[in-house]
């Protein structure tokens, strides 16, 4: 495959698709609220979870705001 078609975006970096740690589903829709969790290991690792797997793995309390609109940090809440 020629270098210009190796999957790299302009500028030499490749875009990576986020995949659910549990079900291997790709994150395709920006409106969908996924959760990223970081382990407390010596070398921290990040795991991405789709909404369904996040509820199943961590409970409703972790994902209860999935359908709420995002708030800006500089607004009164």
Position 40 in a domain: yes
Position 75 in a domain: no
Q: What pTM, to 2 d.p., does this model score?
A: 0.59
Confidence band of 4 (pLDDT split at 50, 70, 90)? very low
In angstroms, rounded to a whole number, what is the distance separating the alpha carbons of residues 9 and 32? 24
Position 35 in a domain: yes
- Compute φ and ψ for 5, nearest 5 degrees: -120, 30
Position 72 in a domain: no
Segments in 1-77 forming alpha helices (H): 51-58, 60-63
Q: How many residues comprise the chain?
A: 77
Give me the number of domains the chain comprises: 1
Q: Can you give the residue range of the structural domain that contains 58?
A: 17-63
Check residue 71 and give its pLDDT. 57
Q: Residues 5-53: pLDDT tens digits?
A: 444 455 667 778 899 999 999 999 988 889 888 988 899 999 999 989 9
Position 6 in a domain: no
């Amino acid at each position: 495959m020629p270098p210009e078609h190796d999957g790299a975006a302009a500028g030499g970096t490749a875009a990576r698709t986020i995949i659910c740690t549990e079900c291997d589903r790709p994150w395709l829709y920006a409106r969908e609220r996924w959760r990223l969790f970081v382990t407390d290991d010596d070398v921290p690792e990040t795991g991405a979870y789709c909404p369904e797997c996040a509820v199943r793995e961590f409970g409703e309390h972790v994902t209860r705001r999935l359908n709420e609109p995002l708030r800006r940090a500089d607004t009164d809440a």
